[in-house]
A = this chain, B = another copy of it.
Amino acid sequence: MTQVFNFSAGPAVLPREVLLQVQQELTDWHGTGMCVMEMSHRGKEFTQIIHEAEADLRQLMGIPSNYKVLFLQGGAHFQFSMLPLNLARQDDTVDYVNTGHWSKIAIKEARRYANVNIAASSEDRNFSYVPDEAGWKKTANAAYLHYCSNETIGGVEFPFIPDAGNVPLICDMSSNILSKPVDVSKFGLIYAGAQKNIGPSGLTLAIVREDLLGRARPETPTMLDYKVQADGESLYNTPPTFAIYVAGLVFKWLLAQGGVRAIEQRNIEKAALLYETIDASGGFYHCPVDRANRSRMNVAFTLGDESLDDAFLEGAKARELLQLKGHRSVGGMRASIYNAMTVEGVRALTDYMREFASSKG
């Protein structure tokens, strides 16, 4: 079969070992004669799958016992509504930090349900940095403080966890969850769409501190009430069983790699390879993001001469380096190098980048 390196921002590359195991077990999971897709979500086989997935995730992230792990549907977009519906009243103030595309969508939805205070924004320099926390204008009694720890499109990543004091800290961690150790106890709620570092799209993870449950507004759709989902142990209705199964295999793969501390080292190495190639290109390639805030997951860069964009992408494709085109809203290039991207894949890309630059430079 074709060996490709897939730099898609999401849905994204999955560990090869996981895909091979899914393939091997597809028509007969553990001698049951059934595909996981065919199993009742209340049967003993799937119960084992979801319990193991949760236990492995708790181990990987060190999730304290006063946090619930929820396997939900709907992607981060559903969380954008679920959050204010559960944790704010219409006249409450909610604090948001605006660092790019995903922050902006979250803010737009929150404005429909509460008073949004923009505690900080990097829009003044086209979302190329994370504002210094010292200058944030936080609301003392905000219902919560929300930020996006990694902006997938801009390639901007927080190098710190904000200090929200007694205000619940909420994080959209969709595109850098499980890429490094994180102190979960600092958060009220963490959420993440699965399709970057966790598994297939259609699954959304939420990690909620228990004291935040049970606060949903009366008009909240039942399925959007965190307490309903927590009380039902993610089985209030039929969950995306196959996606949970694949996510569980990814968690086991991560444990086998040495956990998030080990994967972080590899992520640092991969990101360094790319940013060094860009910075050493003498302006042939350019990364618009401040050095301290450059994402380890999504490396956004432009070509100094954008008339070479198409040739760059064509040459990449000829080498099976796929999905490198930047998001339509910002242009340029973007290499997403989530946990499952190998160092070998990144080296293939940086080799190509250097060769392309010297052939055109």
Query: Taking beta carbons and an 8 Å cutoff, which residues of A are in contact with B?
Result: 1-4, 6, 8-14, 16, 19-20, 22-23, 26-28, 31-35, 37-41, 43, 73-78, 80-82, 85, 109, 112-113, 193, 195, 199-203, 218-219, 221-224, 236-243, 246, 320, 322-323
Cα distance, A271 to B113, chains bound together (Å): 50
Q: Which of B39, B202, B237 contacts A203 (CB 8 A)?
A: B202
Name the distance in Å between A253's Cβ and chain B's nearest Cβ: 14
B23 x A37 contact (CB < 8 A):
no
Name the distance in Å between A106's Cβ and chain B's nearest Cβ: 11
* Interfacial chain B residues near A20, Cβ < 8 Å: 27
Q: 8 smallest A-B Cβ distances: which pairs?
A: A202-B240, A2-B33, A81-B221, A4-B33, A23-B26, A77-B237, A73-B73, A1-B28
Cα distance, A322 to B296, chains bound together (Å): 47
A201 x B81 contact (CB < 8 A):
no
A240 x B243 contact (CB < 8 A):
yes
A221 x B322 contact (CB < 8 A):
no
Interface of A is mostly: loop
Nearest neighbor of A39 in chain B, beta-carbon distance:
B11
* Interfacial chain B residues near A1, Cβ < 8 Å: 27-28, 33
Cα distance, A31 to B1, chains bound together (Å): 7
A–B Cβ pairs within 8 angstroms, 11 of them: A1-B33, A4-B32, A11-B38, A23-B27, A33-B322, A43-B323, A75-B238, A77-B222, A201-B240, A202-B203, A221-B221
Indicate whether A37 sits within 8 Å of B14 (C-beta atoms), given known contacts A75-B238, A81-B221, A238-B195. yes
Cα distance, A259 to B229, chains bound together (Å): 38
B323 x A40 contact (CB < 8 A):
yes
A201 x B241 contact (CB < 8 A):
yes
Name the distance in Å between A284's Cβ and chain B's nearest Cβ: 26
Nearest neighbor of A224 in chain B, beta-carbon distance:
B221
A34 x B322 contact (CB < 8 A):
yes
* Interfacial chain B residues near A26, Cβ < 8 Å: 19, 22-23, 26
Indicate whether A34 sits within 8 Å of B10 (C-beta atoms), given known contacts A28-B1, A73-B73, A240-B243. no
